[in-house]
Structure 1
Amino acid sequence: MESVAPNYTEFSDPRLAALYDTLNPLGDDSEFFCKLADKLSAKKIVDLGCGTGLLTCELAKRGREMTGIEPAEAMLAVARSKPYADQVTWIKGSFREMSGIKADMILMTSHVAQFFLDEKGWRAMLESAHKALKSGGYLVFDIRRLSSPPFKGWPTETNRRKLENSAFGPVEWWFKLLEVKDKRVRYELHYFFVQSGEEVVSLNELVFRTQEEITRALTDVGFKIETVYGDWDSSLVTAMSGEMIFVARRD
């Protein structure tokens, strides 16, 4: 029996989109990407899979010419409501919307690259990114390394994270691991709205490619790997790093 396809409700449900920034605020990762944009003198930037536009608008605030591309309308609705959103070009869609763009940098943050589950889509995205960059432009993205157990430290049903939302009141959030198989991890994100008693579940799946597999894929489409960082403090990747942050250049 085939497993049910992931629905990624955390991005498509307006209630969950409204909670996203509370659960995922600007942090060390955001500052890392902002500093990297400075270091690489990237002026025209595409934020692919921009979500609620938190980093997109922060970069616009800092004077970058930003384009945010996001497939989920609920996330874009949140993004368009932010300060500096009027300085961003928002596009609903996928990597295919990069056609005709010539950017200095393409960003995929918050592990967006791990949502490309099949190899065909993954390679097609990398090829589109390569075409959408100027000569000397950079593709930058983060990959979470697969740990055992995955997502160590995330709240569980018996240890829920509680947050307050002005529109919905108190909300409890936790995750449930479903399956780890062939470099893919399936899991549920649960959101319990205390006042209404409603529980919303997002079924998600991510792929955990190795550093060698990612390097080969980037090289195959014409990128040169400039750096692979292992943490948001700009230290280089090691076998113990929990993150792999790729900086790949189009010559």
Structure 2
Amino acid sequence: MFSDADAAALYDVLNPWDPARRPEAGFCTGLVMAAGAVLDVGCGTGSMLHHARDLGHTGRLVGLDPTPGMLGRARRRTDVEWVSGTAADAAWDREFDLATMTSNAFQCLVTDDELRASLTAIRTSLRDGGRFVFGTRHPQARAWEGWNPSNAFDVRTTAGRELRMWHEVESVVGDVVTFTETTAERDGTILRVERESLRFLDAPALAGFLTEAGFTVENQYGDWRRGPVTETSRELITIARRPESGINP
């Protein structure tokens, strides 16, 4: 058996929120700690907001996620608000100084309608001048070309269980990549197969959707260390802002 709770626990093993080891964690933690009220969209297991509380954040922290297993693990901590839902379900009005989407969660917004509804809801949730920070894989790096069984990797759970994982691309249609993630015993016994589609948008396409939703792009980087976007960048890190009242984007 490999339950949703097991999958959520394994996610934390594979993606520890450690600013000393992960540039993304260092980048986002600084912004979170400087913001009075934070909405983490696609919060997963809540590790970023847990970490902020551990560092002494005293303001409002809200995590939003549609996955029961992930949110169940996040809710082990009760000093953060946890809400079940997607980005488009965000129903707050000018309540946050910062919204985040970490771990490339933004790429899960696959259709134009999903993107528009999600960006509109996130913008509405922000106060005037509030910022939306997210990262995506840059399509020019073609990350999906490495998602195949020959790149399987082994992992040990916190309970000591030995597992093997791999990815396999099913299709690439336009800027949408559909793939499977398989979790198995070391002997190859399949425990879980999850299918997902991700959208790979380049910088002009991202800017178009953000502008349409009423954001201005404040900064964009080619990595989480704030390097410039170049022809070899593997990531697009975007900081978008909701303009002050009366200021057109």
Deviation at 1:159, TM superposition (A): 4.2
Q: Does 1:55 align with 2:48?
A: yes
Match in the other structure for 1:105: 98
Match in the other structure for 1:95: 87
User: Per the alignment, do residues 166 and 143 of structure 1 end up closer, same or farther by CA in structure 2, a change over 3 Å counting?
Assistant: closer
Q: Distance in 1 between matches of 2:222 and 2:10?
A: 28
Match in the other structure for 1:13: 4
Match in the other structure for 2:169: 177
Deviation at 1:149, TM superposition (A): 4.6
Aligned residues: 235
Q: Distance in 1 between matches of 2:176 and 2:52?
A: 32
Deviation at 1:229, TM superposition (A): 1.2
- Give the letter aligned to residue 125 of structure 1: S
Flag structure 2 segments of 5+ consecutive residues without an equivalent: 244-249
CA contact (8 A) 2:104 2:137 kept: yes
Q: Does 1:44 align with 2:44?
A: no
TM-score (norm 2): 0.86
CA contact (8 A) 2:182 2:190 kept: no
1:1-251 paired onto structure 2 within 5 Å: 13-26=4-17, 27-38=22-33, 41-62=34-55, 63=57, 64-81=59-76, 85-101=77-93, 102-147=95-140, 149-151=142-144, 156-167=148-159, 169-194=161-186, 197-251=189-243
CA contact (8 A) 2:136 2:236 kept: yes
Deviation at 1:240, TM superposition (A): 1.9
Q: Distance in 1 between matches of 2:192 and 2:82?
A: 27
* Between 42-51 and 138-147, the greater mean CA deviation after superposition: 138-147
User: Per the alignment, do residues 249 and 238 of structure 1 end up closer, same or farther by CA in structure 2, a change over 3 Å counting?
Assistant: same
Q: Distance in 1 between matches of 2:205 and 2:228?
A: 18
RMSD over aligned Cα atoms: 2.2
* Between 101-110 and 89-98, the greater mean CA deviation after superposition: 89-98
Flag structure 1 segments of 5+ consecutive residues without an equivalent: 1-9
Q: Which runs of 4+ in 1 moved over 4 A?
A: none
TM-score (norm 1): 0.86
